[in-house]
Amino acid sequence: MAISAPGVGSNLDVNSIVTQLMTIERRPLTLLDSKEAAYQAKLSGYGNLRGALSALQTAASALDSPSSFQAFKATAADSSILSASVSSAKSPGGYAIDVSQLAQKQTLVAAGQTSATGAIGAGASTTLTFEFGTIAGGTLSSGIYTGASFTQDGSVPAGTVTIDASNNSLQGVRDAINSASLGVTASIVKDGSAAPYRLVLQSDGSGAARSLRVSVSGDAAVQALLAYDASGTQNLTQSVAAQDAKLSINGVAISSSSNVVGDALEGISLNVAKVGSTTLTLARDTAGVTQALQALVKAYNDFNTTLSELTKYDPQTRQGGPLLGDPAARAVQSQLRSALSTALPGLQTSSVRILGQAGIAFQRDGSLGFDSGKLGEALASHPDDVARLFASLGTATDVQVQVISSGTRTAPGLYSVDVTTLASQGTLTGSAPAGLTISAGVNDALSVTVDGVAASVTLAAGTYTASALAAQVQAAVNGSAALSGAGAQVVVTESGGLLTMTSKRFGSNSTVAAAGSAATTLFGPAPVAAAGVDVAGAINGLAATGSGQRLTGASGSAVDGLVLEVTGGSIGARGAVNFTRGYAERLTGLLESWLSGEGGVAGRTEGINRSIAELDRRRETLSRRLEDVERRYRSQFTTLDTLISNLTATSNFLTQQLDKLPDPTQQ
């Protein structure tokens, strides 16, 4: 192996010379590093800018819904009597509410037994049949009715449980009932007497129509323990009677099977807790809107501060922010200010047309200020106009026309609505009065097809009134897993003994058909089926697409994407729809154009990344060239070192030889 030691022979410091020369050669590489550092600073700056814009977009999106401005809260003067939740109230109000009775679940108690596990009876196969209905009339004393009647609720199917030698104990009966999931819960209590074990049955549902009738067929001992009919044999004792909740609202009597009263006041659910009187106040909930607008103002001001830091110049340090002079940064700030300052179209008749009227205004330093007092005044006097100022909102002059949604291409404006056909539902109407007796295995099987979904059900055997039979058929059909899973439901009504089954869906896909052994009994030999019809009409004079009860505006027009729901009314002109887009929607769209994959921020960061990649390629090329230059320098100086070393050796030799020559002056 050759050993190189540059400068050894000539005392020439080759390494130092090459290092100094390469320092000069590497100056272009240093310039590339400085450029990349500047690009990286810009990239980081755009990352900060993206974060601020994303936060602003989130705050704006929270306001792009009319429901944010139309929320109500209900407050009871005495919250121990009732509480309330609001889903879709329309206007403020006050209600005087008097609760006179709470809903209860019926509870029945069996005679005491000496053992919870001991056999009851001989173990013969025994059927327990549970029916639900209403107990009326008579008197009640010590848990026993005298002279009362029981009317079965045909909308709730009866259920059965089999008791035999494998489960003929209190525990066995309890477990069999609970496993069957019939709407009855069984338990065992121990009362401390000589025969302490008592079976307790409680209806799962509250309300007067959830009283129980227990029929027992089979073992006499089981029958003697559990048979119960308020109008006849009562081997169980009632400890709690089934009853409805009763209350009055502004003097109007209300009855509910549950203590949660969800349909007495539109959009308000009452939860009654005890008997008593109180008042309920319904008022607009402005807290949520105030917080959302405060969040918007804060997000804008945070963006403004971030952009100022990124684009500032410090004259003392003579240093600028990473985005100083960046045209994209200036453009996004200019566009946002313009978006918030430019008036919205379609608000000429609105009482709240500019942000200042809602308490939001630009300050001298370019930030946004927020006046909660002004906002509160605007919400109190013109809540819908405040909603229209921020959210995309469509309102119809016809109460039976509702604006469901809009599209990105829907333009603000006032659009006429004309209806040429109202939507209808699919029906199946009987051709003869229904037979009122359903017999097991004879005429209890019904196959239905609702909205194209097929299902088979079995009707509970029994003799019904026409209305009770309609309720039984409706409950059985709607209880089908196949139909409920597909969202298909029916309503079964009767008139003069004729049954009509109607799909709850509207439109051309709404159909009803029936077959099976029960079909002729229920609907006669030649029932009449009629398919539903889609709504038809025009929006803004252009033919709209109808589907069910919904009309969708013509594609490519000003009403493209506008969806209306026509729930009833008449044929012909149906007023107009006023559609506006608010500041929240405007901001959201603008910010999306900057933050999307093809937006301005992405374009700038992509360009910076390309520049950095180009610098990396140039650095790699320059580094390879510098390696060649350094090798050449070292080769040249090594050669020079060798040459100087050789010359030095020659010089030394000649000097030695000359020194050996005689001195001519001494000759």
Q: What is the pLDDT of residues 177-190, one digit of tens each?
A: 999 999 999 999 99
Q: What is the CATH number of the domain that holds 517?
A: 3.30.70
Q: Give me the chain's average pLDDT, please.
A: 89
335, burial (CB in 10 Å: exposed 0-12, middle 13-18, buried 19+): middle
Structure tokens at 95: 């209600």
Predicted confidence (pLDDT) at residue 597 exceeds the cutoff of 90: no
**What's the pLDDT at 2?**
40
Q: Within a 13 Å sphere around the CA of 126, how many CA atoms are in the beta-carbon half?
A: 31
Looking at the structure, tell me whether residues 341 and 458 fall in a common domain: no
Asked whether 397 and 576 are in contact (CB, 8 A), the reply is: yes
Q: What is the DSSP letter of 210?
A: G
278, burial (CB in 10 Å: exposed 0-12, middle 13-18, buried 19+): middle
Please, what is the Cα angle at 173 between 171 and 175, to 5 degrees? 65
Q: pLDDT tens digits for 353-376? A: 889 999 999 999 889 999 999 998
Structure tokens at 581: 């887009």
Q: How many residues does the chain have?
A: 667
Q: pLDDT tens digits for 19-29? A: 887 778 778 87
Query: What share of residues in the chain are helix, strand, coil (percent, to 5)?
Result: 35, 30, 35
Overall average pLDDT of the 251-264 stretch = 93
Beta bridge partners of 77: none
Q: What is the DSSP letter of 243?
A: B
Predicted confidence (pLDDT) at residue 532 exceeds the cutoff of 90: yes
Banded pLDDT at 660 (limits 50, 70, 90): confident
Looking at the structure, tell me whether residues 450 and 487 fall in a common domain: yes
Q: Which domain holds residue 77?
A: 72-102+246-284
Asked whether 80 and 231 are in contact (CB, 8 A), the reply is: no
**What's the pLDDT at 34?**
73
**What's the pLDDT at 6?**
52
Asked whether 529 and 511 are in contact (CB, 8 A), the reply is: yes
Q: pLDDT tens digits for 386-421? A: 888 998 888 899 999 999 988 889 998 899 999 999
Banded pLDDT at 666 (limits 50, 70, 90): low
Looking at the structure, tell me whether residues 496 and 613 fall in a common domain: no
**What's the pLDDT at 591?**
87
Looking at the structure, tell me whether residues 273 and 231 fall in a common domain: no
Q: Given 580, 615, 645, which residue is the final one in a domain?
A: 580
Whole-angstrom distance, CA of residue 535 vs CA of residue 544: 10
Give me the number of domains the chain comprises: 5
Looking at the structure, tell me whether residues 121 and 199 fall in a common domain: yes
Q: pLDDT tens digits for 448-489? A: 999 999 999 998 888 888 988 998 899 889 988 899 899 999
Q: pLDDT tens digits for 280-306? A: 999 888 888 899 999 999 999 999 998
DSSP-derived 3-state class of residue 209: helix
Banded pLDDT at 555 (limits 50, 70, 90): very high
**What's the pLDDT at 598?**
73
Whole-angstrom distance, CA of residue 446 vs CA of residue 285: 50
**What's the pLDDT at 667?**
59
Looking at the structure, tell me whether residues 617 and 653 fall in a common domain: yes
Predicted confidence (pLDDT) at residue 584 exceeds the cutoff of 50: yes
Q: Report the range of poorest mean pLDDT among 109-123, 243-257, 378-392, 597-611.
A: 597-611
Helix runs in 286-432, H state only: 287-311, 327-341, 372-381, 383-390
State percent of the chain over pLDDT 90: 57
* Nearest residue to 568 (alpha-carbon basis) of 395, 396, 401: 401
Inter-CA distances, 209 with 7, 144, 246, Å: 112, 18, 14
Looking at the structure, tell me whether residues 417 and 540 fall in a common domain: yes
Q: Between these two residues, 197 and 266, which has the higher pLDDT value?
A: 197
Q: Between these two residues, 525 and 8, which has the higher pLDDT value?
A: 525
Query: Does the predicted model carry a pTM greater than 0.85?
Result: no
Q: Report the range of poorest mean pLDDT among 6-20, 89-103, 127-141, 552-566.
A: 6-20
Looking at the structure, tell me whether residues 42 and 115 fall in a common domain: no
Looking at the structure, tell me whether residues 122 and 256 fall in a common domain: no
Q: Report the range of poorest mean pLDDT among 10-14, 32-36, 140-144, 381-385.
A: 10-14
Whole-angstrom distance, CA of residue 466 vs CA of residue 469: 5
Beta bridge partners of 503: 490
Continuous segment of H or E residues that includes residue 307: helix 287-311
Continuous segment of H or E residues that includes residue 390: helix 383-390
**What's the pLDDT at 496?**
93
206 backbone φψ class: left, alpha, beta (φ>0; ψ -120 to 50): beta
441's CB contacts (< 8 A; 6+ apart) are none
Overall average pLDDT of the 501-508 stretch = 96
* Nearest residue to 506 (alpha-carbon basis) of 551, 456, 455: 551
**What's the pLDDT at 40?**
75
Q: Given 519, 549, 580, which residue is the final one in a domain?
A: 580
Looking at the structure, tell me whether residues 556 and 447 fall in a common domain: no
**What's the pLDDT at 1?**
38
**What's the pLDDT at 31?**
80
Looking at the structure, tell me whether residues 541 and 617 fall in a common domain: no
Looking at the structure, tell me whether residues 463 and 521 fall in a common domain: yes
Q: Given 530, 561, 594, which residue is the final one in a domain?
A: 530
